[in-house]
Amino acid sequence: DQQVKQNSPSLSVQEGRISILNCDYTNSMFDYFLWYKKYPAEGPTFLISISSIKDKNEDGRFTVFLNKSAKHLSLHIVPSQPGDSAVYFCAARTDSWGKLQFGAGTQVVVTP
């Protein structure tokens, strides 16, 4: 049962422009959301997170927005850089044991 969905498998963006990645979830009990970045042949690395009591969290070029009523979150990368080319996973914390449910990922390609 896929409770976290990333409906865009890929995204191409020009260097310097904004990248917007979307994630939808179905379980209203999720209380913490994370974005991970993954390069080929490496493990995922943590990027940014947001608690369900907030609607926005910012860290440098990365901002995550949470719309609880729509069960939707998005990651904005401004400005996009070539090093941002990677697969981005959205994840949601499912319980107090820290278990995460992941979306299928979005491949981002930043072109010069």
Q: Which residues bind another protein (CB under 8 A)?
A: 4, 6, 9, 32, 34, 36, 41-46, 49, 51, 89, 91, 93, 95-105
Q: Provide CB contacts within 8 A for 49, sequence distance 6+.
A: 32, 33, 34, 35, 57, 64
Q: How far is the CB of 23 from another protein (least distance, A)?
A: 11
Please list the residues that pair with 36 across neighbouring strands.
46, 89
By beta-carbon proximity to another protein, the closer residue of 13 and 34 is: 34
Number of H helices, E strands in the chain: 0, 11
- What residue type is 51 in one-letter code? S
Q: How far is the CB of 71 from another protein (least distance, A)?
A: 17
By beta-carbon proximity to another protein, the closer residue of 22 and 49 is: 49
Residue 35 CA to its chain's centroid (Å): 4
Q: How far is the CB of 97 from another protein (least distance, A)?
A: 4
- Whether the Cβ atoms of residue 38 and residue 44 lie closer than 8 Å to each other: yes
Q: How far is the CB of 110 from another protein (least distance, A)?
A: 22
By beta-carbon proximity to another protein, the closer residue of 74 and 101 is: 101
